[in-house]
Amino acid sequence: MSVDKLKQIALGTIAVSLLFMSGTVLADYMNVLNLTEGVTPTSKMVYDLHMIILYIVTAIGVVVFSVMCWSIYHHRKSKGAVAEQFHHSTTAEITWTVIPIIILVIMAIPATKALVFMEQTGDAEMTLKVTGLQWKWKYDYLDEDISFISSLSQDSNDARQMGSGIDPNTVENYLMDVDNYVVLPIKTKIRILTTAADVIHGWWVPDLGWKRDAIPGFINDNWTYIEEPGVYRGNCAELCGRDHGFMPIVVKAVPKAEYAVWVEEQKAMQLAAAAGADKEWTKEELLEKGKAVYAANCVACHMAEGQGIEGLFPALNGSAIVNGPAAEMVMLILNGKNMMPAFKDILSDTDIGAAITHERNSWGNTVKDVVQPSDVKAMR
Amino acid sequence: MSEAVLHDDHHDHKPYGIGRWLFSTNHKDIGTMYLVFALIMFFVGGAMSMVIRAELFQPGIQYVDPQFYNSMVTVHALVMIFGALMPAGVGLANWMIPMMIGAPDMALPRMNNMSFWILPFAFTLLLSTFFMQGGAPAGGWTMYPPLVLQLGDGFPYLVFAVHFLGISSIMGAINIIATVFNMRAPGMSFMRLPLFVWAWIITAFLLIAAMPVLAGGVTMLLTDKYFGTAFFDAAGGGDPVMFQHIFWFFGHPEVYILVLPSFGVISQIIPTFSRKPLFGYTSMVYATASIAFLSFFVWAHHMFTVGMPLTGELFFMYATMSIAVPTGVKIFNWMATMWKGSMTFETPMLFAIGLLFMFSIGGFSGLMMGITPVDFQYHDTYFIVAHFHYVIVPGIIFGIIGGIYFWLPKWTGNMYDEKLGKLHFWLSTVSVNVLFFPMHFIGLAGMPRRIPDYSVQFADWNTIISLGGFVFGLSQLILVWVVIKCVRGGEKATDQVWEGAHGLEWTLPSPPPFHTFTTPPEVTDATAHS
């Protein structure tokens, strides 16, 4: 095959792909091309900086590639070019050292300004603590005593299982939706602390303009100031194990008044949940609640039928611990073991009691007893 | 020179059978083994990337469990970096350095044998983890704790495989340094060395400085997991981020360990096919050395998001940006070498020019990511995946493939099939861009890396990327066919092979006899390097 023929084929392919991509199809692709401008002063600053640098490197690329192409076209033997034998020019060497240095300094100035701005975490009006867990997020509103877990929404979770038979296109916000949104007030300087309970995670909402690692044993501080109400979605950015791709983040920014109402609702709900630990539950109530707790917190590792994953996560179905003394099981869940996180700061007494009751009564497990939330509370 | 060596030289008799390869101390045979091993590993690692692209072809989980997907991502990187790229570079060094500097062999031939034969054992350890309780490593090739400590029975195998690979690399590096420092032919002064040799000296020093740091890091992981230490466990007073500092203190120089040999190769190819001496030889040597030196001061740009003090972030941003200067010098020197030359475009030259263009694209995105505040958005997205694959695939790998086409006629004595070579180049170049360019877009639009499934907005681009990936993967089979065909026969190559070729290796017959330069040649030409 001759080179000319190859060139024809290459050009033909490009032409056909362009035709194929035109019109509505092209619009789909064009939506997924560039960084978001976002909704915070930081994100806008970052976007502007990104565009400036993109233009600079594109311009450099156009100049450099044009020179190369010109040379490749004109200085070829087939066009009768005779090689000159020069191999040194101090002037040229100095020029192409100094010009890049100047360009770099020009780029460094706005970059330094943006970085200094982003690191000013003081003067925050409220503080949100974000804790990464395998594979969900825990949010603590430190000024309000509100705390909850946020994990992948049920419909996404169903659709993402292998062989689920559910078309991801039919799921709204596939893999980008959670059960509990992080509600934040707009036009408020919010300090966001990131940390983790097990492995390193990365908390990232592109519309806020940054991501930051959540590291076990350490707390990173960041801030944001959201200007417009809306729902902003993001993901865990740091590989954190099997379900790293399935722990999205959803921030719902609302006006301050609406935020105040939400805070009151949350406080009432948390009080009700705390009260649950002191009341006597029926087995049916615990089983029903336990099933939901299991689906939200346990199923990712121990799987739907309690079968676990061979070599990674132990099975609960038929497990000696699940069929052994209840007290040991409570202690294990409260304090964790190996990869199993300590759930004492993650789940309420009610949730733990319900989950244990569910596990001891499900699949092939034989104990079939009841663990009351008050029992769990007593063992903390 | 001993009588025995002279005797061997006269009769040129080779050991035969399996023993020739198992016990080889011949730089050419060991070079061949390195290259063949690298090619096999290139396809092993490539097969894993095909699994990745098949799973990402459309949204939803179709073929593999997320845990296995993570293993594919992890082991693909380890196999490609330690199994394909580094051995390929050492293979080229083994074959070419003694012939380029007029030496009869490497300085330490038995160690040369050992440093190669460690590799198959190291990769047996690594790949055997697929059959173990807990599966293969799945925490990323960067092995960050605490995640990597969750690995099951395969964990010590991972650590010991890394130790072995490190030992092998360090021995290879010592050998290259010893060879170049002690065995240059009379008149072959340092500033007359071909640039490929210079690139490899600098790479060898990087290896000796960087690999022990990695070995130390993974040993600390091992003791954290099995011996109760808490280097990286905050609960015991340690710091998980310290591992990242240790890892990237190795990891950034490692990037240059991979790329410098390729830069060396194209510094041989471009003058040859431009029929013009390399432009700015001295500044090329200094630029390469500066890149290597600076590479020890930029490591934290891989981890801007861990939360460093502002002064730290500023330092690593400025240091990273400064690397653009010597890298730019190299690109401009290659361009100036081509300028007013008399170029022809045989396959090696095509791959070298492909490298110039596409490595530059990787350089541009690299510069963008060096800007810390913006990197907070780019970090851990497909933008970085696009960046380092542009640097590695149409950069480093194109350099290595270019070198293979360039020297294959010398090695085998036969010309390779030029039409197939060009077909390989054009298919690879088109598909590699279809494969990696759209990754910039989906990365900027918010797709994180290392995920087995994604939000449906990324579906269209991912399908295109996967198609590019499949074509690129299949195109590499052409290389295998070209090599087999060339080894088996073809138009006889002359000693000089290429019209514009200069240097000692081109004064030898094609193929060169088993032992070469047992009597050192005299180098009088000041421009022997180009």
In which residue are the tokens 């990337």 written? B49
CA distance A237 to chain B (A): 6
Q: How far apart are CA A9 and CA B357, in angstroms?
A: 21
User: Does residue B79 contact residue B41 with C-beta atoms inside 8 Å?
Assistant: yes
Tokens of A158: 């169903």
Neighbours of A64 (CB within 10 A): 18
B445:A89 CB<8 A: no
Residues A22 and A5 placed together within one structural domain of the fold: yes
Residues A149 and A265 placed together within one structural domain of the fold: yes
Q: How far apart are CA B275 and CA B269, in angstroms?
A: 10
* Strand partners for A150: A137
Average pLDDT, chain B: 93
pLDDT over threshold 90, residue A176: yes
- What tens digit of pLDDT does each residue of B233-246 get? 998 999 999 999 99
- B301 noted as active-site residue: yes
**Secondary structure (DSSP) of B177-202:** HHHHHH-PPTT--GGGS-HHHHHHHH
B453 backbone dihedrals φ, ψ, rounded to 5°:
-150, 155
Closest CA to B363 of A306, A58, A128: A58
B276 backbone dihedrals φ, ψ, rounded to 5°:
-155, 145
- What tens digit of pLDDT does each residue of A302-339 get? 888 888 887 778 888 888 888 888 888 888 888 888 77
Residues A177 and A248 placed together within one structural domain of the fold: yes
Q: How far apart are CA A245 and CA A236, in angstroms?
A: 7
Between A83 and A190, name the one with better pLDDT: A190
Tokens of B172: 């290879």
Q: How far apart are CA B481 and CA B303, in angstroms?
A: 41
- What tens digit of pLDDT does each residue of B452-475 get? 999 999 999 999 999 999 999 999
- What tens digit of pLDDT does each residue of B170-184 get? 999 999 999 999 999
Among the partner-chain residues B65, B235, B457, the one whose CB lies closest to the CB of A31 is B457
A87:B278 CB<8 A: yes
Burial of A377 (0-12, 13-18, 19+ CB in 10 A): middle
B368:A50 CB<8 A: yes
Tokens of B425: 């180049």
Name the catalytic one among B71, B74, B262, B267: B267
- B168 noted as active-site residue: yes
B521 lies in a domain?
A: no
**Interface contact A324, partner B, CB < 8 A:** no
How sure is the predictor about B508, in pLDDT bands with cuts at 50, 70 and 90? very high
How sure is the predictor about B5, in pLDDT bands with cuts at 50, 70 and 90? very low
**Secondary structure (DSSP) of A238-259:** S--STTGGG--EEEEEE-HHHH
How sure is the predictor about B526, in pLDDT bands with cuts at 50, 70 and 90? low
Name the catalytic one among B252, B276, B424, B440: B252
CA distance A278 to chain B (A): 33
Which of A100, A118, A136 is a domain's end point?
Answer: A118
**Interface contact A116, partner B, CB < 8 A:** yes
Range of the domain at A12: 1-30
pLDDT over threshold 80, residue B8: no
The pLDDT value recorded for residue A3 is: 61
What CATH number does residue A291 fall under? 1.10.760.10
- What tens digit of pLDDT does each residue of B69-113 get? 999 999 999 999 999 999 999 999 999 999 999 999 999 999 999
B265-282: burial string, b at 16+ Cβ within 10 Å, e else: bbbbbbbbbbbbbbbbbe
DSSP state for residue A236 in the 8-state scheme: E
Helix, strand, coil: what percent of chain B each, to 5? 70, 0, 25
CA end-to-end span of chain B, whole Å?
30
Choose the weakest-confidence range: A252-261, A358-367, B285-294: A358-367
Name the catalytic one among B28, B53, B184, B330: B330
CA end-to-end span of chain A, whole Å?
77
B475 backbone dihedrals φ, ψ, rounded to 5°:
-60, -30
The pLDDT value recorded for residue A139 is: 96
Q: How far apart are CA B338 and CA B199, in angstroms?
A: 20
Among the partner-chain residues A32, A161, A237, the one whose CB lies closest to the CB of B458 is A32
Residues of A in contact with B453 (CB under 8 A): 160, 168, 175, 245-246
Among the partner-chain residues A34, A118, A234, the one whose CB lies closest to the CB of B444 is A34
Residues of B in contact with A167 (CB under 8 A): 60
Distances (CA, A) of B149 to B159, B233, B395: 11, 11, 33
CA distance A230 to chain B (A): 18
Residues A269 and A287 placed together within one structural domain of the fold: no
Which of A274, A300, A318 is a domain's end point?
Answer: A274
Residue B441: partners with Cβ closer than 8 Å, 6 or more residues away: A29, A32, A33, A34, B461
How sure is the predictor about B61, in pLDDT bands with cuts at 50, 70 and 90? very high
Residues A171 and A266 placed together within one structural domain of the fold: yes
Residues of A in contact with B308 (CB under 8 A): none
Residue A65: partners with Cβ closer than 8 Å, 6 or more residues away: B357, B360
**Interface contact A193, partner B, CB < 8 A:** no
Residue of B nearest to A42 (CA): B373
Which of A118, A136, A151 is a domain's end point?
Answer: A118
What CATH number does residue A107 fall under? 1.10.287.90
Among the partner-chain residues A57, A108, A159, the one whose CB lies closest to the CB of B368 is A57
Please state whether A73 falls in left (phi above 0), alpha (psi between -120 and 50) or beta: alpha
Radius of gyration of chain B (CA): 23
- B76 noted as active-site residue: yes
H-run or E-run covering A295 = helix A283-297
Residues of B in contact with A77 (CB under 8 A): 275, 342-344
Residues A338 and A369 placed together within one structural domain of the fold: yes
Range of the domain at B52: 15-507
The side-by-side arrangement of strands in the sheet containing A189-196 is: A146-150, A136-141, A126-133, A189-196, A220-225
B374 lies in a domain?
A: yes
The pLDDT value recorded for residue A23 is: 56
B433 lies in a domain?
A: yes
Residues A308 and A368 placed together within one structural domain of the fold: yes
- Average the pLDDT over A109-136 and give the result: 94
pLDDT over threshold 70, residue B12: no
The pLDDT value recorded for residue A84 is: 86
Residues of A in contact with B325 (CB under 8 A): 97, 100-101, 104
Residue A327: partners with Cβ closer than 8 Å, 6 or more residues away: A379
Among the partner-chain residues B332, B364, B455, the one whose CB lies closest to the CB of A57 is B364
A33:B445 CB<8 A: yes
Residue of A nearest to B349 (CA): A72
Residue B455: partners with Cβ closer than 8 Å, 6 or more residues away: A173, A174, A175, A176, B59, B447
State the alpha helices, DSSP H only, in B136-280. 155-182, 195-226, 240-274
- Average the pLDDT over A65-81 and give the result: 92
Residues A264 and A138 placed together within one structural domain of the fold: yes
Residues A132 and A270 placed together within one structural domain of the fold: yes
* CA angle, residues B125, B130, B136, in degrees to nearest 5: 85
The pLDDT value recorded for residue B4 is: 43
Residues A228 and A304 placed together within one structural domain of the fold: no
What CATH number does residue B246 fall under? 1.20.210.10
The pLDDT value recorded for residue A19 is: 63
The pLDDT value recorded for residue A20 is: 61
* CA angle, residues A45, A50, A55, in degrees to nearest 5: 130
- B49 noted as active-site residue: no
Pairing relation of β-strands A249-254 and A182-185?
Answer: parallel
Q: How far apart are CA B373 and CA B421, in angstroms?
A: 43
H-run or E-run covering A140 = strand A136-141
CA distance B508 to chain A (A): 25
- What tens digit of pLDDT does each residue of A18-70 get? 666 665 566 667 778 899 999 999 999 999 999 999 999 999 999 999 999 99
Tally of domains within chain A: 4
Residues A108 and A173 placed together within one structural domain of the fold: no
The pLDDT value recorded for residue A325 is: 86
How sure is the predictor about A16, in pLDDT bands with cuts at 50, 70 and 90? low
B530:A31 CB<8 A: no
**Interface contact A209, partner B, CB < 8 A:** yes
How sure is the predictor about B9, in pLDDT bands with cuts at 50, 70 and 90? very low
**Interface contact A340, partner B, CB < 8 A:** no
B513 lies in a domain?
A: no
B60:A210 CB<8 A: no
Residues A249 and A306 placed together within one structural domain of the fold: no
- B275 noted as active-site residue: no
- B505 noted as active-site residue: no
Residue of A nearest to B132 (CA): A311
DSSP state for residue A103 in the 8-state scheme: H
pLDDT over threshold 80, residue A13: no
A308 backbone dihedrals φ, ψ, rounded to 5°:
65, -170
pLDDT over threshold 70, residue A197: yes
Residue A299: partners with Cβ closer than 8 Å, 6 or more residues away: none
Tokens of A369: 């007893």
Closest CA to B472 of B430, B501, B512, B508: B430
- Please state, for a pLDDT cut of 90, what percent of chain B lies above it: 91
A92:B458 CB<8 A: no
B380:A86 CB<8 A: no
Tally of domains within chain B: 1
Q: How far apart are CA A81 and CA A74, in angstroms?
A: 7
- Please state, for a pLDDT cut of 70, what percent of chain B lies above it: 97
pLDDT over threshold 80, residue B374: yes
The pLDDT value recorded for residue B481 is: 96
The pLDDT value recorded for residue A27 is: 61
- B163 noted as active-site residue: no
- B169 noted as active-site residue: yes
CA distance A308 to chain B (A): 12
Between A341 and B305, name the one with better pLDDT: B305
Tokens of B247: 């890892």
